[in-house]
A and B are shown apart, each in its own frame.
Chain A
Amino acid sequence: MPGIIGIYPFGLNRENWRISRFVYYGLLALQHRGQEISSIATFGGEFKEITQKGLVDEVFNEDRLKQLDGFIGLGYVSPLENSKPIKVSSPVELILVGDGIPLLGESRDKAWKAFAELLSDEISRVKNALKAGVNVIEQVDGGYSFIALTENQEMIAGRDKHGVKPLEVGSLGFDLGAIASETSALDVLGMEHASYIKPGEVVKFDPYSIERARAKSAAQSSYCSFEYVYLARPDSIINGIPVYAVRERIGEALARKFPVEADTVIGVPETAIPFAIGYSRAAGMKLDLGFITTGRKIRTAIKPSVFERIVGVQLKLNPIKSVIDGKDIVLIDDSVVRGTTLRNTVWNLKRRGARRIHVRIGSPPLKSPCPFGVEIPPPDELIGRALSEAEIAEIVGADTFHFLPLKDLISSIRLPRNSLCLRCWGETRD
């Protein structure tokens, strides 16, 4: 689930823009999508690229932004160590950033490499970058979004036929156009959000036009439902649906479905806080801030190793004693993968004086890995697949434990069931 962004200047004197700082701030607003690798590439006659392990503001400083002196820019943040933008040098030189997985090879890296090469070949063959993009999408199944920048100053962005991975479009004044994984990046840049790229659609920016076309086989959308639960920032709007509103509704649904007597409701920071707000409102129960975070915002669920995840949780979740001491608590989290971090959290709350703990999860049990690159462990590591709610309650040490039923997730998103990708919850498409 990397975050990708492309920024493109138009009009007279377009070469005057120094775009790297725009890409930098855009990436900061996509950092939640990947915290291992940060990368910026610009084009200003030639490609320049800096990719390194680390957070965006660790990797880039004033000097490095200055080195990236082009006027067209691409940015990439990734949760995968060793991943990077794909470069192809011939027949058409291009650099490509992608989110998700095109079904083209046995590994993600190979698939993206093959995808970028296919695009380059196709552009050289049909001599039309828009058509080439459409042809590639026609040929390649999977769940992916991409933005590519060619030596001919063409920026091509597209989504697979089902539009699994998000891609949003915005503009700044009469000058800049941008494409990004989420609208949070457009907002931070002071841009107007125009629309989202449709499933199977390709948009091409060149110095003299913007063109769009859709693959003939573009199908019923299959938008990733996990974006709404966890991946996207709550201030983003994805496929026309505001993420925060979905999360609030999820909290409300939890309150209605599984009512329980308690003193206060607490959300696990940061993702579950909007769920807790919705729950509190619907249940008429007091909402409290339960935890304070130490250090940077870290997205624990996407850290590569178990050890890092536990460290992350411990740093992230220092309980506020006065809030929990002697209280019955509804604890809300966004999702449960292995149950390790939740167990840690419940234990921690009890040790600090909580009496009863009722755990509510803002998503259904995770049942299968994501074929399109969301980091979900193999099926035999998923607690929600292996155990019942009662068993999980026992293991994590909660008094009661409930997942959000799938149908409530769907009604909270407010898109028809058949327009969502629900594979990770064990629902397959026919």
Chain B
Amino acid sequence: MKLVIKVMGVGGGARENALAEAISRSNREVKIYWVSELRNPGIYRLVKSTGGEYALAKTTNARKVAEIAAKWNVDLVVIGPEEPNFHGVPDEVENKGIPCIGAKKSVSILEMSKAEMRRIQWKFNIPGKLLFKTYKSYLDAIEDLKRFSDTLTWLQNVALKPARQAGGKGVKVVEDVQAYLHREKSEFKERHIKWLEEYMGKYSDVEEKILVEEKVWGPEYTLQCFVDGRTVIGMPLVQDNKHAYEFDIGPETGGMGSYTGRGMLLPFITMEEYERSLEIVKSMVYAVQKVTGEKYKGFIAGQMMLTEIEGPTLIEMYSRLGDPEAVNVLALLETDIIDIFEAIIDERLSKIKIKFSDKATVVKALAPKGYPDFKSIAKGHEVYVDEKLIGKFGCKLYWGSIHLQDDGKMITGGSRMLEILAVDDDPAKASERIDECLKHNPVKFLDGWSYFYRSDIGSAEMIKRRTAIAERVRRLYKYREERGILGKRIDWLPKIGKIDPVSLLLKELGGE
């Protein structure tokens, strides 16, 4: 065993700050090195205190990142965000003979292409599927969706997504049930599809631009896992909250806050559902390894939803930890993360015991006004943070999209700028503690700009609401389960007759 271990991290958000902090908690003697696009003040401090180094570089430039790792002669590299995975940073790092905790380019397809992820899932018949269609141009998509009454039922209630992972942007869910509002909603859908087409134009690495998926409803949760190419180990469930504002209103964000319950579960998800979800994620890992012939090493996460059709259902996958979900689970992690990293490298995850403490956590993200849809007005503001005050409330601060300039000023990058964590016996208590802390104004903009956060995340009222929905969904899917019709869909079109959309989809997939 090496005396001093040199670890290099990649990425500059609050998730990476949490990773750096977990690494710094190691019982081993570590030196922390980091590469990111903005200089994260929290990570920078950890780097300095362990005697490591910090470099600013484009984290999607695989060769550059690998060169830096080689130059610093680090023992291992850990990747935070998804884009470095998509661009093959782990591949290049390993080419230099340095082990990397991060999904390689080929296997990160599970996240990069939502369409490919879904195809793999259908091909390997892994539970928790959704009907989907992809389009190369918006004109085709509009044509399909325009037909209101003579189209398949599921196409009337859809989620429109960019077919490629695009920073969690661009998702629209338009439930078109009220015939009297059909015109307004379909006009909006059309306009949005056109916008998506333009937005996706900047990504040239996928051919399919637009993904249309059946709209489902139910409580969402994230299951994050460690993977070593053989074994998949699940972490405590976390619920992230995607709507920008209070009451679950407003545009989709990367996540405005998240919470965990106790005992690995959320208050509204059962152990059986946890195990089924883990089975789904495992199967996806094995499937993508089979398809690509490459080992999956690093983190993976299933963004899950309990649905009436099948119970635990896969909505999307992350080839990394979630942000802010990483902050929740890493705060609970009791096992030395360096031991886990080494076990991943040596493919012996099954041999070690990974422990999480039995507490509830809440994380709330603070974002400058303008985030998520108007980032140009959200960036460039100077921030002042009173960390002592935050500590006084027993809360912990993680730095996100903030750049520490050479002159010591801290400037917003336009995305979620800070995440605040509280650990307590139940989520409601932790949530209240963060609110109480923020009421004392520990965070200020020096130019008069303002930020927002969600007071309702982890609150008793929110959990009550989620629980009510979970119970409704559970009744429905359990009924299907009893009757042996989990996952079955059946439709009827006038003049055409009975249609099984699943077999239609399978036929299409097989015919490719």
A binds B: yes
A interface residues with partner B (beta carbon < 8 Å):
10-13, 16-18, 21-22, 25, 169-177, 188-190, 192, 194-195, 203, 205, 207-212
A174 with B252, Cβ < 8 A, contacts A12-B195, A169-B247, A210-B247 known: yes
5 cross-chain CB contacts under 8 A: A17-B188, A18-B187, A169-B247, A189-B181, A210-B250
Distance, CA A190 to CA B188, complexed state (A): 15
Distance, CA A299 to CA B376, complexed state (A): 52
Please tell me if the beta carbons of A25 and B173 are within 8 angstroms of each other in the complex.
Answer: no
Please tell me if the beta carbons of B248 and A171 are within 8 angstroms of each other in the complex.
Answer: yes
* Cβ distance B471 to chain A, nearest Cβ, rounded Å: 16
Distance, CA A13 to CA B174, complexed state (A): 15
| B461 at the A interface (CB under 8 A) | yes
Distance, CA A212 to CA B454, complexed state (A): 10
Q: Which one of B330-338, B367-375, B488-496 contacts A?
A: B367-375
Point out the residues of chain B lying under 8 angstroms from A177, CB to CB.
Answer: 245, 247, 249-250
Please tell me if the beta carbons of A12 and B251 are within 8 angstroms of each other in the complex.
Answer: yes
Distance, CA A212 to CA B452, complexed state (A): 11
When each residue 245-266 of chain B gets 1 if its CB lies under 8 Å from chain A and 0 otherwise, what string results? 1111111100000000000000
* Cβ distance A56 to chain B, nearest Cβ, rounded Å: 13
Distance, CA A203 to CA B452, complexed state (A): 13
| B191 at the A interface (CB under 8 A) | yes
Distance, CA A105 to CA B374, complexed state (A): 43
Please tell me if the beta carbons of B249 and A171 are within 8 angstroms of each other in the complex.
Answer: yes
Please tell me if the beta carbons of B251 and A174 are within 8 angstroms of each other in the complex.
Answer: yes
Please tell me if the beta carbons of A175 and B184 are within 8 angstroms of each other in the complex.
Answer: no
* Cβ distance B170 to chain A, nearest Cβ, rounded Å: 9
| B117 at the A interface (CB under 8 A) | no
Distance, CA A209 to CA B249, complexed state (A): 10
Please tell me if the beta carbons of B373 and A210 are within 8 angstroms of each other in the complex.
Answer: no
Please tell me if the beta carbons of B184 and A21 are within 8 angstroms of each other in the complex.
Answer: yes
Please tell me if the beta carbons of B178 and A11 are within 8 angstroms of each other in the complex.
Answer: no
B interface residues with partner A (beta carbon < 8 Å):
171-175, 177-178, 180-181, 183-184, 187-188, 191-192, 195, 243-252, 369-370, 372-374, 377, 450, 452, 455-456, 461, 465
Please tell me if the beta carbons of B243 and A171 are within 8 angstroms of each other in the complex.
Answer: yes
* Cβ distance B243 to chain A, nearest Cβ, rounded Å: 7
Distance, CA A16 to CA B190, complexed state (A): 11
Point out the residues of chain B lying under 8 angstroms from A10, CB to CB.
Answer: 244-245, 249-251
Distance, CA A190 to CA B372, complexed state (A): 25
Secondary structure call for the B interface: mixed
Please tell me if the beta carbons of B250 and A11 are within 8 angstroms of each other in the complex.
Answer: yes
* Cβ distance B261 to chain A, nearest Cβ, rounded Å: 21
In this complex, the member of A17, A173, A190 whose beta carbon has the largest number of chain B beta carbons within 10 angstroms is A173
* Cβ distance B440 to chain A, nearest Cβ, rounded Å: 15
Distance, CA A139 to CA B498, complexed state (A): 64
Point out the residues of chain B lying under 8 angstroms from A25, CB to CB.
Answer: 178, 180-181
* Cβ distance A211 to chain B, nearest Cβ, rounded Å: 7
Which chain B residue shows the least CB distance to A209? B452
Which listed residue, A12, A16, A174, A194, touches B173 by the CB 8 Å rule?
A174
Please tell me if the beta carbons of B178 and A188 are within 8 angstroms of each other in the complex.
Answer: yes
Point out the residues of chain A lying under 8 angstroms from B456, CB to CB.
Answer: 195
Which chain A residue shows the least CB distance to B439? A213
Please tell me if the beta carbons of A21 and B250 are within 8 angstroms of each other in the complex.
Answer: no
Cβ-closest 7 pairs across A and B:
A11-B251, A210-B245, A194-B247, A177-B249, A209-B452, A208-B369, A171-B249
Distance, CA A116 to CA B505, complexed state (A): 57
Point out the residues of chain A lying under 8 angstroms from B249, CB to CB.
Answer: 10, 169, 171, 176-177, 194, 205, 210
Distance, CA A78 to CA B30, complexed state (A): 70
Distance, CA A170 to CA B372, complexed state (A): 21
Supplied contacts A10-B245, A189-B178, A210-B247, 17 more A-B pairs, CB within 8 Å: A12-B251, A13-B195, A16-B188, A17-B184, A18-B184, A25-B180, A169-B249, A174-B173, A174-B243, A175-B251, A190-B181, A192-B248, A195-B456, A207-B374, A209-B244, A209-B245, A210-B245
In this complex, the member of A12, A16, A18, A172 whose beta carbon has the largest number of chain B beta carbons within 10 angstroms is A12
* Cβ distance A360 to chain B, nearest Cβ, rounded Å: 33
Point out the residues of chain B lying under 8 angstroms from A210, CB to CB.
Answer: 245-247, 249-250, 452
